[in-house]
Amino acid sequence: MKIILKDGTEKEFENGKNVYEIAKSLSQRLAKEAVGGKFNGKIVELFTPINENGKLEILTFDDEDGKKIYWHTSSHIMAQAIKRLYKDVKLTIGPAIDNGFYYDFDVDEPFTVDDFSKIEEEMNKIIKEDLKLERFVLPREEAIKFMDEKGEPYKVELIKDLPEDAVISFYRQGEFTDLCAGPHLPSTGMVKSIKLLSVAGAYWRGDEHNKMLQRIYGISFPKKSMLDEYLNMLEEAKKRDHRKLGKELDLFSIHNEGPGFPFFHPKGMVIRNILEDFWRKEHAKRGYLEIKTPIILNEELWHRSGHWDHYKENMYFTKIDGEDYAIKPMNCPGALLVYNSTMHSYRDLPLRLCELGLVHRHELSGALHGLMRVRSFTQDDAHLFMTPDQVESEILGVIKLIDYFYKIFGFDYFVELSTRPENSIGSDEDWELATNALIKAMEHIGLNYKVNEGDGAFYGPKIDFHLKDSIGRTWQCGTIQLDFQMPERFNCEYVGQDGEKHRPVMLHRVVFGSIERFIAILTENFAGAFPTWLAPVQVKILPISDKHLAYAQNIQQRLLENDIRVELDDRNEKIGYKIREAQMQKIPYMLILGDKEVESGNVSVRSRKEGDLGSKSIQEFLSSILEEIKNKSL
């Protein structure tokens, strides 16, 4: 059989060779590090035999799919350990996730972090036992009986939801057997370093009407050094938690009177307004026209747009004059109504309508997380209407805009193409056209991307931009979605060069994603020490005593006249205390004023980052800080 490898080379192997044997023939090291394979796009196990021509990628822990295999097996090890320690526990599901794995358990007494050490100890025993993971299958009825006899009602429920003719797969390791589609590592001994991280409540199947389960999160790595590095990153992330910093720096708060609905304080509003002003200025430069659409619109609109069938469980509703209305979870239908309010010619296109639109989405209370996951947020939306021949250039324009924005904030990023989901609307032809248009635009400028199968919007494929922050975490922010469906549903038209009416193509896109979430990401990325141009307070004036207060007030007025955000600390406190407090508030510059400064007419400058910068004239300091702000220096 002929196998095409990841680097494009083609090799011949005997039929029936498994992934491990092929890896070993290529490199002993590769075989040692291999955790599975990807054959013709399907993830397979290490000892899966290959019997036909095709493309094979040997997966290691460095690959995303390799991590999923590793972490999925780790979740089974955790479940086995818990079944050994807690005989009456009931199993539910235990997938790999983006950062590790979890397993949900039905248990009488809730788990606590105090239980972790003995669970980890048992997991390490199972790893040392080097138990082989063996797959076997059963017909549906036998599978139901098998799990019923084991006293696993949640597994029985899962099997009953499968088709009548389904063949059900299980994995056995020692005395433990779990319902699972796989794939897995060949043995428990391949997992090396494990750590349980947290425990939380989770509703069975994510439905708040179902029973609350106990979810334990964990992580595992092939080397202890990798685990240590990850745990250090988590410690750093705790210090940077935007919820903690938001309180300490007085940026925002969330109250019991409105869970998931953030309150922005004056300092938080400074950052928000800077971001929004920057956004407006850069969009105006690129020919965008800003609109504002209502947050409450008639329910019929959401049926027409398709959101009702795909999103109603996440929406809020109200009645007005006896009719049903919805609070908007998306801005797009409003933009379509604006487009349709005027007849358009091909000469009007592309028409770029942008909106800082407030949307509301119902999130489960357990999913809420500071500004990262809220029920009310502002999307920096834009909806571009264009002729078919303008599609590629408009996509390129958006990609360049997003790239410009992220570079301003110092973010690296990677890109994913999300393709057609199961619950999509529209024809195969439209989806193929839309997907190919996105691919063509990315390839035109040499933008590297990976494919995220089946994760597109219900109306079209999309490009997602994932930011990488200063401690290596990634965040999905920007997105570009190509849409042939909404213009059809809303009967959008323009008059072409031929004098006939045509259907425009629509592009949805966001850059920040959500203003609230982007502020949270910035807060954690900079650990609250915002660059000067973004800092709520840019300068703190610290007079040493009351006799220096008049001079301090003059300096404050000079800075205010130059649009510098400045505070004067006129409290009767020791200067060392004032400096420490300004440092804790992460203010970029402190101006310390005493006898020498009053006499010379200068200021003593202290930088948050570099410490004492010495004596400078006020004009010298002003020129320096204004240049820093103008250049948006990081």
Residue numbers in the known binding site are: 332, 383, 508
Angle ∠(267,412,351) on CA atoms, nearest 5: 75
- Residues comprising the binding site for Zn(2+)? 332, 383, 508
Given 332, 354, 477, 492, the catalytic residue: 332
The amino acid that residue 134 corresponds to is E
Given 173, 214, 379, 481, the catalytic residue: 379
Q: Mark whether 381 is an active-site residue.
A: yes
Interacting residues of 147 by C-beta distance below 8 A, sequence separation 6+: 155, 156, 159, 179
Given 267, 307, 328, 361, the catalytic residue: 361
The amino acid that residue 556 corresponds to is Q
Residue 629's φ and ψ, nearest 5 degrees, are -70, -45
* Token code pair at residue 141: 């009825």
352 CB neighbour count, 10 Å cutoff: 21
Given 381, 464, 469, 569, the catalytic residue: 381
For residues 95 and 182, give the distance between their C-alpha atoms in angstroms, rounded to a whole number: 10
HSE-CB at 518 with a 13 A cutoff on CA atoms is 26
Given 72, 462, 509, 548, the catalytic residue: 462
Q: Mark whether 373 is an active-site residue.
A: no
Distance in angstroms between the alpha carbons of the first and the last residue of the chain = 55
Helix spans in 290-355 (H): 299-305, 307-311, 332-340
Residues in the chain: 634
Q: Mark whether 354 is an active-site residue.
A: no
The amino acid that residue 38 corresponds to is K
Q: Is the dihedral of CA 506, 511, 513, 514 positive or negative?
A: negative
Q: Mark whether 255 is an active-site residue.
A: no
DSSP 504: P
Closest of 14, 92, 9 to residue 56, by C-alpha: 9
Q: Mark whether 379 is an active-site residue.
A: yes
Q: Mark whether 332 is an active-site residue.
A: yes
For residues 402 and 480, give the distance between their C-alpha atoms in angstroms, rounded to a whole number: 10
**In what helix (H) or strand (E) does residue 576 lie, and over which residues does it extend?**
helix 575-584
For residues 628 and 626, give the distance between their C-alpha atoms in angstroms, rounded to a whole number: 5
Given 184, 383, 420, 517, the catalytic residue: 383
Give the residue numbers marked as catalytic.
Answer: 332, 361, 379, 381, 383, 462, 508
